[in-house]
Structure 1
């Protein structure tokens, strides 16, 4: 269901705030001594993660209005297209990282500026837009971009801390953006299983839902709580990761 214009404005503001936060962090924490190091994602360097952040914003920059009768994919359906394209996404990040290695942040800034401009141009109504992968509501595209920035900002934080030391960098994840995507991911789980759950630890739940930490029922019980004390957190091992 399309969201009201006020919600689209809030999502756009959240995306812009999360971008500014991670962009500032990358500028401060990811120097030449770190950029080529392996990240916490197998097969990805820190430089490739930075390139992928900019590519994630570019996915919004290239959106155009869809035909009026177009049926949009849901957020869950859109995320469901991720696994089949994992290697393609990784290879694209490698290519871009090589192409922009002399000035990676300038390219990132340009793509982010274009993305935020396009969000303003497409709004304020929650219209159906044609993305690279599928037609979606503008709200879905915005939430998916926030998710990409939050997940990969957390990846970068863990990567740089591993390289430089546990206290080498602050947190590039905006807390409002983190809470938003944690709730969106929980909504997918609840819709599929009908449970009444709430997020207890947004960062841990994000990492479990995104496959960043191994699935463990004890970790899940710390990440999610049943809304009613008489209930229990279900075993989501067959459902996770969501992306």
Structure 2
């Protein structure tokens, strides 16, 4: 049974608040250093977090007859928009300057206000987001995935533990599994949430995923199929 939309939005808020609080621990000298995302500085990554949550502010409600993309289809659009995503992150990072947190707070406050309005239409209402039409429920899931994946990216620049909420991590892992099962036709289960999230988002190789037990078949007797051709999902 799908996770209720209020639960999804609450977990998204928890993950954002955790990340935002931990960003206070970032040394300003680190902002100009390379991040765990190739080609991005830590400042670029922080700016991208703000732009990720601000996706709600950029949404427009759509008529009921508009067909939404599936979660998997929407996630696949990231690759096609990679250059634009990088350009936008770097432009926003330059705009935020050496003290990005106040502006991040403004972006997130506006975003959560817009999200509250969008949820009034229900989880299956369709909105036009940056990568195409998508349901409100699935858009919230994409934001959870973004914040969790980049929480692990930021972990290399922050004191332990990684700034990832356990509930958000579970939802991100399940959503990415849903996208994989949709694409592959297999019925797999998550074995290790962290390893699976990092694999699905291109942070771990398939060989590393197998070694870490990231996924497992529904029935052990079936064996784990090689799904590397579907990866990364993002």
TM-score by length of 2: 0.93
Unaligned runs of 5+ in 2: none
Mapping of residues 195-206 of structure 1, within 5 Å = 195-206=186-197
Structure 1 CA distance, aligned partners of 2:63 and 2:182?
A: 28
Cα drift, residue 227 of structure 1: 2.3
Contact 2:155/2:163 (<8 A) preserved: yes
Residue of structure 2 in register with 1:234 after alignment:
225
CA RMSD of aligned residues (A): 1.8
Is 1:154 the counterpart of 2:145? The answer is no
Contact 1:60/1:145 (<8 A) preserved: no
Residue of structure 1 in register with 2:108 after alignment:
112
Is 1:181 the counterpart of 2:172? The answer is yes
Aligned residues: 232
Structure 1 runs of 4+ with >4 Å offset: none
Cα drift, residue 150 of structure 1: 0.6
- The partner residue of 2:132 within 128, 131, 134 is 134
Structure 1 CA distance, aligned partners of 2:142 and 2:79?
A: 15
Residue of structure 2 in register with 1:164 after alignment:
none
Cα drift, residue 220 of structure 1: 5.8
Tell me the alpha carbon deviations over residues 99-125 of structure 1, each in whole angstroms, 9 at most, x when there is no partner: 111431111111111111111111131
Unaligned runs of 5+ in 1: 162-167
Tell me the alpha carbon deviations over residues 9-64 of structure 1, each in whole angstroms, 9 at most, x when there is no partner: 11111111000001111112x12121111011111011100000000011112212
- The partner residue of 1:20 within 17, 22, 30 is 17
Residue of structure 2 in register with 1:88 after alignment:
84
Structure 1 CA distance, aligned partners of 2:98 and 2:150?
A: 22
Residue of structure 2 in register with 1:165 after alignment:
none
Cα drift, residue 171 of structure 1: 1.9
TM-score by length of 1: 0.90
Structure 1 CA distance, aligned partners of 2:31 and 2:208?
A: 35
Contact 2:44/2:90 (<8 A) preserved: yes
Structure 2 CA distance, aligned partners of 1:135 and 1:123?
A: 15
- The partner residue of 2:160 within 160, 164, 169 is 169
Tell me the alpha carbon deviations over residues 208-231 of structure 1, each in whole angstroms, 9 at most, x when there is no partner: 110012331663661111222211
The 3-state SS of whatever aligns with 1:216 is helix
Structure 1 CA distance, aligned partners of 2:79 and 2:168?
A: 23
Decide whether aligned partners of structure 1 residues 235 and 104 sit closer, same or farther in structure 2, where only a CA change above 3 A counts: same
Decide whether aligned partners of structure 1 residues 133 and 229 sit closer, same or farther in structure 2, where only a CA change above 3 A counts: closer
